[in-house]
Structure formats: C-alpha cells, structure tokens
Amino acid sequence: MGQYFADIVAAVGSAMQGMAITFKHIYKKPVTLQYPDERQVMPERFRGFVHNDMTKCDACNICAKLCPVDCIYIEAEGKAKERVMTRYAIDYNKCIWCSLCTENCHTGSITMSHDYDHSVYDRRSLVYEFMDPRVAKIPCHRATRIEQGWWVEPKEDKPGAGDKGDDA
C-alpha cells in the first residue's frame, strides 16, 4: 500500500516537473524556422559549400594539390601565355569542408560559402562545374589575364603570392 502512494506522489511530481518546463518556455519566441521559406543566418566563419569566383582563379592548381580527398578537378590546355583553363569542378560528394583549399589560394578566389543546402536526387549532380569552356576559357598566364581584362591579384596585398600561374 505504501509503495502505491509513493508511486502516485512520484507520478504527480514528474508531471509537475514537466509542466514547469512547459510553462517556462510557453511565452518564449519560437526557434523553429519555416524552412525552406526561412533560412538560418550562419555565423561568419561557417564552412558551407566551397565556392570559386572564376574571375579570380588562374588554375595554379594549389587547391587541387592540397585537397586531402582529391575532389577538385582542374583541367587546362596550352602552354605559357596561351595556357587556358578548360575545367574547374568540385565533387561535393567527397569534400570534407577542411578549408585547406581556401586558406592557401593565392588569389582568394576560392572560399567557404554559407550555402548549406544542395539537396539532389542524383549524386552526380554534386560534381559542380564552375565554368563552361564553350562560353569562355579562362587565361592562366598573368600577362594574358591583364591583357584580356581578367582579375589579377594585387601583389602588395598578398606578399609572396608571386606569379604562380605563369608556368604551371
């Protein structure tokens, strides 16, 4: 009989505890976002999908060589001043968001974006092509880039960056 009343007291206590938590939060602002209509604002240093600004990239290959999972694909043709990039792609299936590529890019073209949403039905869609050589082949040589009006990194802002794309 004693255990019976002890169980009742424990059950009522437990219910009261639950209700106390409920009442504590009942007038608080909801934290649920109505995704996808509402999006989370990510912290400044959040590592989302890697993005490359192709106007700044000169196919120096540093990012591809440093990538620990080999998910950056760069293709180029021609030599010296004639060298042009024909493919820059990232396989998001393999990327581990380590940021090695972004931290070592000498032009600052590749960055960790705040984009976290790339739902797809086919994994092949996660191999993201950043350029279409049928639209434009991107010159790699510094002099050619300057001549054709492509972005060239300000050397004074990147000490030691040098002309890494010249003979790569």
Binding site for ligand SF4 (CB under 6 A): 50, 52, 57-63, 66-69, 71-72, 74, 90, 95-101, 105, 107, 109-110
Q: How far is the CB of 93 from ligand SF4 (least distance, A)?
A: 11
Q: How far is the CB of 34 from ligand SF4 (least distance, A)?
A: 30
b/e per residue, 12-33, with b = 16+ CB within 10 A? Answer: eeeeeeeeeeeeeeeeeeeeee
Q: How far is the CB of 53 from ligand SF4 (least distance, A)?
A: 8
Short-list 63, 153, 143, 138, CA closest to 107? 153
First to last CA, the chain: 87
Closest CB to ligand SF4 among residues 81, 111: 111
SS3 for 22-81 is HHHHCCCCCCCCCCCCCCCCCCCCCCCCEEECCCCCCCCCHHHHHCCCCCEEEEEECCHH
Closest CB to ligand SF4 among residues 39, 158: 158
Closest CB to ligand SF4 among residues 48, 81: 48
Q: How far is the CB of 74 from ligand SF4 (least distance, A)?
A: 6
Tokens standing for residue 135: 């639209």
Closest CB to ligand SF4 among residues 25, 158: 158
Tell me the CA distances in angstroms from 114 to 49, 64, 98, one per residue in order. Answer: 7, 21, 14
Closest CB to ligand SF4 among residues 11, 96: 96
Q: How far is the CB of 68 from ligand SF4 (least distance, A)?
A: 6
